[in-house]
Amino acid sequence: MSQHYCGYNPPPPNFETFFPEKYKDRLQRLPDFRKLRSSWEIHKRPTLVVLHVFADDIGALEKWIDMAYQLAAPGCLGGEMDFYVDDLWKSFIFNEDDFSFLRIDKGCTVDSYPLIYAASSTGEVFFFGDFTGPHLPDLESLRHFCDQVINGTAKEPTARDPKVESVNLDRWNELVYAGDNDVAVCFYNSLQNGEEVNRRLMSDLDWLGRNLKQESVLLYKMDIHGTSVPKKFVVESTPSFFFLPGTQKHNPLRCKYEINMWTMLKFVAENSSEELSYYNRRGRVKLHAELLTHIKDYFSLS
pLDDT digits (tens, 9 = 90+) for 234-275: 898 999 999 999 988 889 999 999 999 999 999 999 999 999
Tell me which fold the domain 15-157+286-299 belongs to: Glutaredoxin (3.40.30)
To the question of domain 165-271 being in CATH 3.40.50.2000, the answer is no
Dihedral (CA of 208, 213, 216, 218) sign: positive
The answer, yes or no, to whether residue 18 has pLDDT greater than 90, is: no
CA pair distance 279, 103, nearest whole angstrom: 17
CA pair distance 242, 253, nearest whole angstrom: 5
Q: In 3D, which of 173, 78, 65 has the Cα closest to residue 114? A: 65
Domain borders along the chain are 15-157+286-299, 165-271
Q: In this predicted structure, what is the pLDDT of residue 37? A: 83
135 DSSP assignment:
P
pTM of the model: 0.89
- Average pLDDT along the chain: 89
CA pair distance 117, 104, nearest whole angstrom: 24
Question: From residue 122, how far is each of 43, 48, 126 by CA, in Å?
Answer: 11, 14, 12
Q: Which SS3 state, helix, strand or coil, does residue 160 take?
A: coil
How would residue 6 be classed by pLDDT, with cut points 50, 70 and 90?
low
Question: Is the N-terminal amide bond of 10 cis, ω within 30° of 0?
Answer: yes
Render pLDDT for 269-282 as a digit per residue (tens, 0 to 9): 999 999 999 999 99
CA pair distance 142, 100, nearest whole angstrom: 27
Query: How many Å is the Cα radius of gyration of the chain?
Result: 23
Q: In this predicted structure, what is the pLDDT of residue 87? A: 85
Render pLDDT for 93-138 as a digit per residue (tens, 0 to 9): 888 776 666 555 455 777 889 999 999 999 999 999 999 999 999 9
Q: In this predicted structure, what is the pLDDT of residue 31? A: 86
Q: Where are the beta strands (DSSP E) in 33-98?
A: 47-52, 82-87
The answer, yes or no, to whether residue 56 has pLDDT greater than 90, is: no
Q: Do domains 15-157+286-299 and 165-271 have the same CATH topology?
A: yes
